[in-house]
Each structure stands twice: as structure tokens, then as C-alpha cells.
Structure 1
């Protein structure tokens, strides 16, 4: 079941409609999105995206190769059934420590492949809605944007005469999330 990693037209059309609605009506609340996350085409594309990243198995120790051996279509159908029946529950995240470049270690959470596919399906549906609300000047964790793009924009603005740059690194801020006021906002 090989697919292109390019978003299929049918999914792109849905994303465009969601984005346009969110952009045109910022106060609009989307109440019926769950059925879109469960669509077979979205789950199949989410599988392809997760598969392209490869990655280690989660706590269940199920690998991409294991799923492919037993049949991706059946596996996706079972995931869809759990999602549509609302019996799906994410598994715990496998925690491993990885070395940091400057010394020490940082924790890395590895979700199961099943959870990665479900999360990717949710991202495919939710991202266009949130994108509509973000400022054009924001670059972090945005589709088709990178740190290199932010540096290029900063360079262009400096050449235009702007002299102030604001850069915020929140990576350590969320280390104390258990009592962080931001957590209550998310």
C-alpha cells in the first residue's frame, strides 16, 4: 500500500475548507471534527506519514515491519473501529534518555505506532484551523517554515532598517509544567 507523502487532493480540499472557515470566522467553533479524523483516507495518509519517519516501537514493541507483515489495511481498519466506537485509548509513552550535545541527558517519549498514526490524523484535521489564527511572523513548528526561513526574514528586516529582534526559547520553561500557569491554558 504505497502512497505519496504529498497530501492527497481530497484531504487537501478538506484542509483548505477548514482553514478558510477558520480564517473568515475567527470566533467560529468547530464541533464536528472527530468524524474527519476517522476517515479511512486520512488514517491511510497518517500511516504513510508516520511510516516515513520510521522510528522505534513504543511500549507495545510493535514495529512498522510487524504491522506490514500482518496487514496494514486490517490494522488501519481496527484503529478506525476503535476511534469511531470511541474505545480508543492511547498507550503510555516509552521513555528513553538520550544524550544532549553539551552533556547530560534529556528524556525522549516514544509513542506506539498506533498512537502516532492517530495523532497524525488529528494533526491533519486540526492544523489548518490553528494555522488560520497564527501570526504570519511566527515560524516555530509551522508547516513549510523553518529556522532558516526565520533567519532569512530577520535578515531582510535588518536590511530594511529594523534593529530590534525578539527571540524566545521556551524549551526549559515547560520543564516545570506541573506547576506552570501555561499548562492550564493548554
Structure 2
């Protein structure tokens, strides 16, 4: 990735957006069913309209579209309500998350355990228990 001079440039960098698109297209069925668009059509849409979308993001004029509320049927329980974002909004959100995650989660910090790739909540609990035992907090 080329060196970005700002966080916004890092978010809008073409390689970051491409990774966001690849990451976001795993949920193939929702846009086709909910937004009546096929997710396979997004690359053509992006080629035609992405410059305007990126410009709007850069100027602070981008607003996400309204989400669609749907109910997911459950076998024995009430249906579960879900909110489905547009494909464009999901790509923008993922691109922001990819840049922001590097700022929030320092991969070298041993205290960052649970909300990181390759780590889990059990490791976080063990770490808290070890700290509590070391400091005597467990006996209070």
C-alpha cells in the first residue's frame, strides 16, 4: 500500500477498498433479496459511480442509505429482526474498520486479547485472572 498522508486517504486507497469489497461480499444473499440488486452487479456500479462516492466521503458529504428491516424466521422462536445495509455502505464501513483496527488494536500489545483476530475471550479471562492473582485483587 502506498503511504497515505491522512486517515481518509488510507480509507479511500484503492487497495483498501478492494480488500473491503472482498471481505464484504461473503454475505451474498442479503443484497440480492433485500435490495433487489445482485451483489455481482456491484463492481460495475462501483466503476461507474465510485469516484462520486469517494469524493462525497472525502468532503464529509457521504451519508449511508437507510437500512432495510427484515425478519429472519426461526423454527421455534419468534422471528429475529435484522437491519441490512446497502452493499456500498458495507464496503465503506469495512474500509473504515480496516484502517481503524490498526489504530485501536496494537497487535504487539499483550494486553489486547479478546477483540482481535487470533485471540478469544477465554484468553482474556485467563489474563484477567492472572493479573488479579498477582495483585491480590482476587482475595478482596
TM-score of the superposed pair, with normalisation by structure 1: 0.53
Determine if the alignment matches structure 1 residue 50 to structure 2 residue 60.
Answer: no
Aligned equivalent of 2:9 = 35
Q: CA RMSD in A?
A: 3.5
Counterpart Cα distance in 2 of 1:99 and 1:86: 38
Q: How does 1:16-165 map to 2 (within 5 A)?
A: 32-57=6-31, 60-68=35-43, 70=44, 72-100=46-74, 103-132=77-106, 135-138=111-114, 141-146=115-120, 150=122, 153=123
CA gap of 1:64–1:105, structure 2 versus 1, over 3 A, is same
Gaps of 5+ in 2: 131-140
Query: Does the residue aligned with 1:95 lie in a helix, a strand or coil?
Result: strand
Query: Does the residue aligned with 2:119 lie in a helix, a strand or coil?
Result: coil
TM-score of the superposed pair, with normalisation by structure 2: 0.67
Counterpart Cα distance in 2 of 1:101 and 1:128: 40
1:74, CA displacement in angstroms?
Answer: 3.3
Counterpart Cα distance in 2 of 1:99 and 1:66: 27
Gaps of 5+ in 1: 1-9, 15-31, 163-186
The superposition leaves residues 24-81 of structure 1 with CA deviations (integer Å, 9 ceiling, x where unpaired) of xxxxxxxx4122111122112211111233241286533312224x354334434323
